[in-house]
Structure 1
Amino acid sequence: MLSFFKRKDKNIEKTGSDSVVDSRELLGNGEGEAGSEKLVETELSFHPKVHVGTEERYYFQFLQNELPPLKENQISLSGIELKKDEDIWQIVAFVRNSLAKSVKFKETPLLLIGPDGEKLGRKVFNLADIGELPAASSRPWVFEFHQSDLEKEELPATGWKLAFEIKAQQPEQHRLDLHESWEKSLAENDKEKLEKLVSSVEPPKKGEVNFMGIQAAKAEDGSLHVTLLVRNGSMKNLKLEKLPLIVEDASDEVIVKGGFNLDNFEVKANTSKPWTFIFPKEMLLKEEIDLSKWKAYPPQKG
């Protein structure tokens, strides 16, 4: 590893292009984070076990300073240079991380792509060798392609890029998300019933947020308890601070209107969370209500 980045060419110029992926596409929802428009500048990072000479440090620092910022929570491969040594092509690239936390990679297929988007080669790399990549950092790394990994004998001098091969995945099943208080207090058979309900009904459309009634009943003190599933079809976590609700009974008449202040109520991406909303007796607009059929919904905007 001593001469890992030993260079002969004195020219300081990047010959490759950049590719970018959302961290969740590459790392999965468990490790990746939802993207945003916030821009993140990355800082140069070297593997702790790689010795880099003064000249090489200057070279990589200069190129790192020229890199454009990434959007928050992205992973990027930024092509630096390629050279051939007998039947091995050595491709140097920055591996960039714009998450606010360090990341570790696994065995991952990489594509070598030409200036016109054509596939030049493919190889599976054990990216764990790169080590733990710090938050908001760029780490130079050498990727070796044998001639057998390539579809062409020669590679273009400029305009090429490395890219993660992201295969289209089946969308994760919409699932139940329980608040901590429900998790602790709800009986196991009731949890199972809710899980079956969430999995049996058609999930919300991609990006859609809606509400599904579960139960409505009057308590002994005359208050109305309405339990809803808050269904988040988005791939981002949803936070509700306030929620106005209208409830109609079997007569299609409005029986109550009210607004609720929610304390940091969060529904995780692609999940449904049940919650009970309590309307005091004094808020009811009718004394006699028929809950054999009912619906609850937020008022339409505009």
Structure 2
Amino acid sequence: MALESNKNATGFIIQGFSDASEFQISFFVLLLGIYLIILLGNLIIFLVISCDPHLHTPMYIFLQILSFIDISSTSNILPILLHILLTQQNNISFLGCMTQIYFFGFLASSEYFLLTAMSYDRYVAICDPLHYITRMSRKHCVWFITATFTAGFVDPLSIVISISKLSYCASHAIDHFFCDVTPLLTLSCSSTFIVELLMYIEGTLFIFNSFLLTLTSYIFIISVILNIQSSEGRQKAFSTCASHLTCVITLYVTVLCLYMRPTTSYFLKRDKFFALLYIVLIPMLNPFIYTLKNREFQSSFNKVRQRCFRFLF
């Protein structure tokens, strides 16, 4: 059956938002604007941190990697969707579809693990500040980043391989705006039990454990903050991790609602718009969440901007 699937499913048709054809141009303009905001916001964070040696600390290095992941994850999906909305050419090859699924899983998993590393960084900074320099040294940062991308690389492999071996003998029209696991499973006329089992196993091993580690870090962080005597001290301590906590809650709630359910409970029309929020909302909000009230970053941004103006003019 695996050989049959590869012969029969030479490609797929991504339906996108064809059920709202009168809004195609409006969707294109809206998503193009959002995509440019995501690129600009995250690129500014990446460049400012790269240019200012004062920001070469674990917290900002992790934020720089997060910006890179956000740019990569949206660039994996939005340019293809924009092309479909503009040209109505919605065919994608079998290999292209599997590649998009893999990179979506790889970058999403890497983001979970990176957020876990960031929560540990905040835990050490608040709960064990005297040993922060030794516990979050450059060597430890490199190890965390390497582990993040290694785990992200491994996580989606078995699922993508299993999906590629399914038989797609029904319609090849994907009722979604990109190649995702859920709509592909609904197209298969062979058993999807193995794929769903792998999703739950890997979701438990990787996503749930990273969430558990993040939650444990915040239990200790909150307990320390509550023991601070002054309200000003508590507010200052909480402000150092409020941005990260907001990002974590938004990400995990969305992921649990989207993927940790049996196939029978999927409602593709609703989940399509929910997935769009997941893909564009978090990468668009992250630059604002992490930098709006961050005086250190704003000071560095102003210095870099002045340097650029002097260089150009």
Tell whether the structures are fold-level matches, with TM greater than 0.5.
no
Which one has a larger percent strand, Structure 1 or Structure 2? 1
What TM-score comes out, normalization by structure 1 length?
Answer: 0.22
Report the structure number with the largest CA radius of gyration: 1
Q: Whose relative contact order is higher, 1 or 2, with alpha carbons under 8 Å and at least 6 apart?
A: 2
Which one has a larger percent helix, Structure 1 or Structure 2? 2
